[in-house]
Amino acid sequence: MHEYSIVQALVERVEELAREKRARAVHGVLVSIGELSGVEPDLLATAYVTFRERTICEKAELTILPVAARWDCPRCRQGIPRGSLLSCPLCGIPARLAAGDEIVLERIEMEVA
């Protein structure tokens, strides 16, 4: 289960930014997790609760924004429904993943003096 190593990277990044901004505390962390990112939101939340102890995130709530997978044609932008063959029926070129592979730290709510 790699969610622990994701959380470790997340907390380290938050600590780094909090130091940079001279924050006294962190109140909230917002991340977006794509459906095709390979990260399971529930497992991430569990890993976060375990790992945040004695870190700057100890009292910070984690909000996970799930992002649905969306394929489309890079040329005509037509959406390609999930489960179908991943090439554009009109242009005949490979589809691209327009959204859904995010493992992104979006925002931190910090308490500054």
Which of 13, 19, 59, 75 binds another protein (CB under 8 A)? It is 13
Q: Give the range of 11-19, 51-59, 60-68 binding another protein by CB under 8 A.
A: 11-19
Instruction: Tokens for 113, please give them.
Output: 């003096």
Indicate the burial class of 56 (C-beta count within 10 angstroms; 0-12, 13-18, 19 or more): buried
31 forms part of the interface with another protein (CB under 8 A): yes
95 forms part of the interface with another protein (CB under 8 A): yes
Q: What are phi and psi of 38, to 5 degrees?
A: 90, 5
6 forms part of the interface with another protein (CB under 8 A): yes
Which of 58, 61, 66, 106 binds another protein (CB under 8 A)? It is 106
CA of 54: how far to CAs of 15, 21, 60, 68, in Å? 12, 20, 12, 33
Give strand pairing partners of 32.
Answer: 65, 104
Q: Give the range of 48-56, 58-66, 104-112 binding another protein by CB under 8 A.
A: 104-112
Neighbours of 27 (CB within 10 A): 13
* Residues found near another protein in the complex (CB under 8 A): 1-2, 5-6, 9-10, 12-13, 17, 21, 24, 27, 31, 36-39, 71, 83-87, 94-97, 103-113
